[in-house]
Structure 1
Amino acid sequence: MRATVAGLSPRLISALLWGAVGVLAFLVLVQGYALVVEPLVSITQSAFIALFVGGVTAGSAYVLEYRIATWSARRVMDETKPQDGDDKSKS
C-alpha cells in the first residue's frame, strides 16, 4: 500500500511540487529582470502569469514523469545488458 498525504498520490504531490518550482522560478526571473532593466509587468500580472506557468509545469510533470522514468529504466537496462560480440574472453 502506498502512503498518501492528504489523500493525494505521490505522483500528484510530485507534480504539484514541480508546479511550485515553476511558479517560483518565473517570479525570480521577473524580479531579476525588474532589478536589472525595468519592471516588465505589474505585480498582479506577474502573479497570474506565474500561476499559469505553474499549472503548465505541474501538468507537464504529471503527464511526462511516468514516461521519462520508464524510458530511463529501459535505457539503463539496455546499457547493462551484455551486447553480442562484447565477450572479453576471446578464445
Structure 2
Amino acid sequence: MSGYPAGRMGVDPRAKSAALWGLVGFLSFLVLVQSYALLATPIVTITGALGLGLVVGLAAGIGAYVLEPRLAARAADRRTE
C-alpha cells in the first residue's frame, strides 16, 4: 500500500497496467524473433523486428486496456455464484 489516495497521485492504475502489458508484449516478441534468428536464418532485420515489436506491444497494451474491465466484471460475477 503506497499511502496515496487512489486517483490522486501518478498514473491511473488501469493505464499503468495496460502500459506494462504492452511492454511485456513488445519484449516477448523481440525474444521470439531473437530465438528464431539463433536457430534459423533471420527473417527480418533488427529495425523490422523493432517495428513489428512496437505494433505487437501497442496491440497488447490496447487489448489489455479494453479487456481489463470486462474481465474484472466477469470475475466478480463468478465470485458471487
Using the size of structure 1 for normalisation, the TM-score is 0.79
Aligned-pair Cα RMSD in Å: 1.0
What is the CA distance between 1:23 and its match in structure 2?
Answer: 0.2
Q: What is the match of residue 70 of structure 1?
A: 73
The Cα shift of 1:29 comes to: 0.3
From 37, 54, 61, the equivalent of 1:51 is 54
Gaps of 5+ in 2: none
Partner deviation per Cα, 1:28-73 (whole Å, 9 max, x = no partner): 0000000011111000000000000000000000000010011011
Whichever residue aligns with residue 69 of structure 2, its letter is Y
Structure 1 residue 34 corresponds to structure 2 residue 34: no
Counterpart of 1:34, as a letter, is A
Give runs of aligned pairs for residues 3-14 of structure 1, distance below 5 A. 3=7, 4-5=9-10, 8-14=11-17
Q: Name the count of aligned residue pairs.
A: 76
Select the structure that is richer in helix: 2
TM-score (ref. length: structure 2):
0.89
Q: Which has the higher contact order (CA 8 A, sep 6+)?
A: 2
Identity of aligned residues (%): 46
Which residue does the alignment assign to 1:2? 6
Larger radius of gyration, structure 1 or 2?
Answer: 1
Provide the residue aligned with 1:84 in structure 2. none
The Cα shift of 1:14 comes to 0.3
In 1, the alpha carbon distance for the partners of 2:46 and 2:29 equals 12
